[in-house]
Amino acid sequence: MQSSFLKSGHLPTLFAAFLYFDLSFMVWVMLGPLGVQIARDLALTPAQKGLMVATPVLAGALLRVVMGVLVDHLKPKRAGIIGQVIVIAALTLAWAAAFWGAPAGRSNNPAIAAAPTAKTVETTKASW
């Protein structure tokens, strides 16, 4: 039985998996070169800069184990949906806290506390 590579699977799923893989690694790789500017803007120590670069990779590695267990106990599609909902919720909460819930200097999270607000950005632009 002969079949081509593209016909051996579901093409939209293959394309979505490629985009997910490509975009997620693009973000991970961008943290390294951008680490210099981010560390300078947030006044991070070398240890904090290393933690910033390592956190996504380590979290991804640990969550792959959790997702593997979920796939074994639930259907793969349901486990994928649960994983995406958790990621989207976490990113939404972090984004909302950074922009509305925690003004700069009033957060327990040092990254959010040191992040520039719209007012500091406007002040910086005005000083140029």
Answer whether residue 105 shows pLDDT above 50: no
Domain residue ranges of the chain, discontinuous segments joined by +: 1-73, 77-128
Q: Which pLDDT does position 63 carry in this prediction?
A: 85
Share of the chain above pLDDT 90, in %: 6
Confidence of residue 72 (pLDDT cuts 50, 70, 90): very high
- Name the residue with higher pLDDT: 47 or 120: 47
**How far apart are alpha carbons 3 and 6 in whole angstroms?**
8
Task: For helices 46-73 and 11-42, give the axis angle rounded to 10 degrees.
Answer: 150
Residue type (1 letter), 120: T
Q: What pLDDT is stored for residue 1 in this prediction? A: 47
Q: Give 103's Cβ-side CA count (13 Å radius).
A: 3
Share of the chain above pLDDT 70, in %: 73
- Residue 71: partners with Cβ closer than 8 Å, 6 or more residues away: 79
pLDDT band (50, 70, 90) for residue 20: confident
Q: Are 106 and 116 in contact (CB under 8 A)?
A: no
pLDDT (tens digit per residue) in 78-101: 988 888 898 888 888 888 887 776
Q: What is the mean pLDDT of residues 100-105?
A: 57
| pTM as predicted | 0.51
